[in-house]
A and B are shown apart, each in its own frame.
Chain A
């Protein structure tokens, strides 16, 4: 995907100098290996700052809510689905956007690379299909496919669903992935085992809210965890409060989550928070055949009622 950088810069330069947009939101190269930083450019002469590689796991849809400018935005498949969400939820107008589409081959999980390398990544060079990484004790080469983020491994919407200009031809979509295998395993657990599982899953949480804040869906002016009147949950490290936060947040995302993985990408503790959102995505898919953010012409699953909606959940 390295070749995308030139094309992004070219498009950005064009739309900025033609006055089509006031700003272009994209990524700039990070200050450390395998990292990139969301950034914006307002000047056609500044587009050289923009770059793209397999370390652009942040969801840029998170940066456009309620903005008034005309915006060019670099969008992977998942980013574009969250842009659709925002349009449906009136967080941005389609006319404000010039969507620079990225046919995405998946983002690399830097924690996984670090774990495989067994230490700090001192240098990383990305090739078409591989990643050459230098660590303290030498060099290693990994296939990009093996090091993808969990969500990217099973992604079936790599191409943007809404776009003004693509940076390259579409990539082939993955078929027959099985994203819900682990959810099914958790579902099969007994209630006690489930409690133990979630306690274990969420006990490392430090309540920094990086998952929430990295998520384009979490834009409530005041999140329920921050409400003081009434105060819905305690502020301490009590596991019940920690779990309540994660469970309720997941429910707030149901029918809206695009599996972009920004939450897991952001978590400093490496918690697999998508274990929760995935279950709800699976339910939406199985119950209503719904996947979020594929079209601006349909209301989200939990936002509409159809006469033929299944009712098995009413007992």
Chain B
């Protein structure tokens, strides 16, 4: 794949060209953190200022609240009570300046939204309409553990183009056909001399900066029920307040609720992010709740990420190691610590 060199001026002018036929999104400072926002004409993203965004970019593909259908219950209307598609904007979009781990997260989540049997059209159409220009991490957080979570600061899968900071510009590597086309559309064409080597050495240096890790080598071989019934869950869950922070900031948490919302006779069927941390998530119509204790809900989250997903898809964890849940948890529940408890568990 093409590896080129882009200086900052070219970068800005290329983005302007891309804005002609794409909507661009990039991190922008909002409140205490950076969050993804639309990049208007003339605006250049602050890629150096943002180590990573507070919220993950998942809402760009999968908004926290999304209308699925609209309807009227007005009996006089010939279409009364029928669900009607709503207009969706799946015009081309480019996300610029997300981190490789976040770009990779969509690949993990894709398995859920596009299974062999069902295709979630909202997620899938949105994902297909979007290209990702990620920026490799030269300065990971101390809470980043991507290199042991199936990706890394220069991980390519999920990105269409990956940028690496290099002096007064970027080395850009097109990873997919979509990425090659973006390079062409943006007019970025200066071949980087020894680009691949430079990229590789930057990658190596960045990976060495990721000092934090998880290990599921033993978890893989444990029986689900043994881990599920392990004795440490209640202790580890003690501090948990069962808020939805970890699940909402997580790029790979995908659960949602479906609701009808009415205003008079008009209404919409919509979906909203939901969280396995909330008791309501699993409560039956009868009032019975199979996860009625908070440790059960905490266990569900970490078992899902570190065991169920691993077993179901015979792959890596449902986690990119972005560390957001560690940084944002109000009571310091730390996935690394829980993973360690799981991996070192020995059935009595």
A-side residues, CB < 8 A to B, are: 30-32, 35-40, 58, 62-63, 111, 114-115, 119-120, 122, 136, 204, 206-210, 212-214, 226, 234-238, 265-270
Contact partners of B139 in chain A: CB under 8 A: 136
- Alpha-carbon separation in the docked complex, A206 to B330 (Å): 14
Contact B241 A266 (CB under 8 A): yes
Task: Tell me if B326 is interfacial: C-beta within 8 Å of chain A.
Answer: yes
Task: Tell me if B270 is interfacial: C-beta within 8 Å of chain A.
Answer: yes
Contact partners of B238 in chain A: CB under 8 A: 38-40, 63
Contact A206 B51 (CB under 8 A): no
**Contact check: which of B243, B249, B334 meets A209 at CB < 8 Å?**
B243
Give the nearest-CB partner of A271 in chain B.
Answer: B31
Give the nearest-CB partner of B336 in chain A.
Answer: A31
Task: Tell me if B143 is interfacial: C-beta within 8 Å of chain A.
Answer: yes
Contact A269 B331 (CB under 8 A): no
- Alpha-carbon separation in the docked complex, A204 to B334 (Å): 24
Contact A38 B245 (CB under 8 A): no
- Alpha-carbon separation in the docked complex, A38 to B331 (Å): 7
- Alpha-carbon separation in the docked complex, A226 to B259 (Å): 13
**Contact check: which of B239, B241, B257, B326 meets A210 at CB < 8 Å?**
B241
- Alpha-carbon separation in the docked complex, A213 to B32 (Å): 22
Contact partners of B330 in chain A: CB under 8 A: 58, 210, 214, 265-268
Contact B64 A206 (CB under 8 A): yes
4 additional A-B pairs beyond A208-B248, A237-B272, beta carbons within 8 Å, are A40-B235, A206-B64, A237-B64, A237-B65
Report B39-64 CB contacts with A as 1/0, cut-off 8 Å.
00000000000010011000000001
Give the number of residue pairs across the A-B interface with Cβ within 8 Å.
109
Task: Tell me if B195 is interfacial: C-beta within 8 Å of chain A.
Answer: no
A-B contact pairs, 20 of them (CB 8 A): A31-B332, A31-B336, A32-B334, A37-B239, A38-B239, A39-B238, A63-B238, A111-B32, A120-B141, A206-B248, A208-B243, A208-B245, A209-B243, A210-B243, A210-B244, A212-B243, A213-B242, A234-B259, A265-B330, A268-B328
B226-244 contacts to A, CB under 8 A, are 235, 238-239, 241-244
Known: A39-B238, A208-B275, A214-B330. A270 touches B245 (CB 8 A): no
Contact A32 B243 (CB under 8 A): no
Contact partners of B55 in chain A: CB under 8 A: 206
Task: Tell me if B306 is interfacial: C-beta within 8 Å of chain A.
Answer: no
Give the nearest-CB partner of A212 in chain B.
Answer: B243
- Alpha-carbon separation in the docked complex, A4 to B337 (Å): 26
B-side residues, CB < 8 A to A, are: 30-33, 51, 54-55, 64-65, 139, 141-143, 235, 238-239, 241-245, 247-249, 257, 259, 261, 270, 272, 275, 278-280, 326-328, 330-334, 336-337
Contact B239 A268 (CB under 8 A): no
- Alpha-carbon separation in the docked complex, A300 to B110 (Å): 52
Contact partners of A212 in chain B: CB under 8 A: 243
Give the nearest-CB partner of B280 in chain A.
Answer: A226
Contact B244 A209 (CB under 8 A): yes
Contact A30 B243 (CB under 8 A): no
Give min CB distance, A82 to chain B, whole Å. 14
Give min CB distance, B333 to chain A, whole Å. 7
Known: A36-B332, A122-B142. A234 touches B241 (CB 8 A): no
Known: A111-B32, A119-B51. A32 touches B244 (CB 8 A): no
Secondary structure at the A interface, as helix, strand, loop or mixed, is loop
Give the nearest-CB partner of B263 in chain A.
Answer: A234
**Contact check: which of A37, A122, A235 meets B259 at CB < 8 Å?**
A235
- Alpha-carbon separation in the docked complex, A234 to B263 (Å): 11
Contact partners of B65 in chain A: CB under 8 A: 235-238
- Alpha-carbon separation in the docked complex, A217 to B30 (Å): 30
Give the nearest-CB partner of A33 in chain B.
Answer: B142
Give min CB distance, A78 to chain B, whole Å. 16
**Contact check: which of A37, A40, A213, A238 meets B243 at CB < 8 Å?**
A213
- Alpha-carbon separation in the docked complex, A122 to B143 (Å): 10
Contact partners of B248 in chain A: CB under 8 A: 206, 208, 268
Give the nearest-CB partner of A58 in chain B.
Answer: B331
- Alpha-carbon separation in the docked complex, A234 to B272 (Å): 10
- Alpha-carbon separation in the docked complex, A139 to B75 (Å): 69
Give the nearest-CB partner of B63 in chain A.
Answer: A237
**Contact check: which of A35, A210, A236 meets B332 at CB < 8 Å?**
A35
- Alpha-carbon separation in the docked complex, A115 to B239 (Å): 26
Known: A115-B32, A120-B141, A236-B259. A31 touches B334 (CB 8 A): yes
Which of A31, A63, A266 counts the most chain B CB atoms within 10 A?
Answer: A31
Contact partners of A206 in chain B: CB under 8 A: 55, 64, 244, 248
Give min CB distance, B286 to chain A, whole Å. 13
Give the nearest-CB partner of A228 in chain B.
Answer: B280
- Alpha-carbon separation in the docked complex, A136 to B141 (Å): 9
- Alpha-carbon separation in the docked complex, A265 to B241 (Å): 13
Contact partners of A226 in chain B: CB under 8 A: 278-280
- Alpha-carbon separation in the docked complex, A238 to B67 (Å): 12
Contact partners of B275 in chain A: CB under 8 A: 208
Contact partners of B54 in chain A: CB under 8 A: 268-269
- Alpha-carbon separation in the docked complex, A62 to B275 (Å): 21
Give min CB distance, A47 to chain B, whole Å. 15
- Alpha-carbon separation in the docked complex, A119 to B139 (Å): 11
Give min CB distance, B106 to chain A, whole Å. 20
- Alpha-carbon separation in the docked complex, A269 to B328 (Å): 9
Contact A37 B32 (CB under 8 A): no
Give min CB distance, B279 to chain A, whole Å. 8
**Contact check: which of A58, A114, A208 meets B244 at CB < 8 Å?**
A208
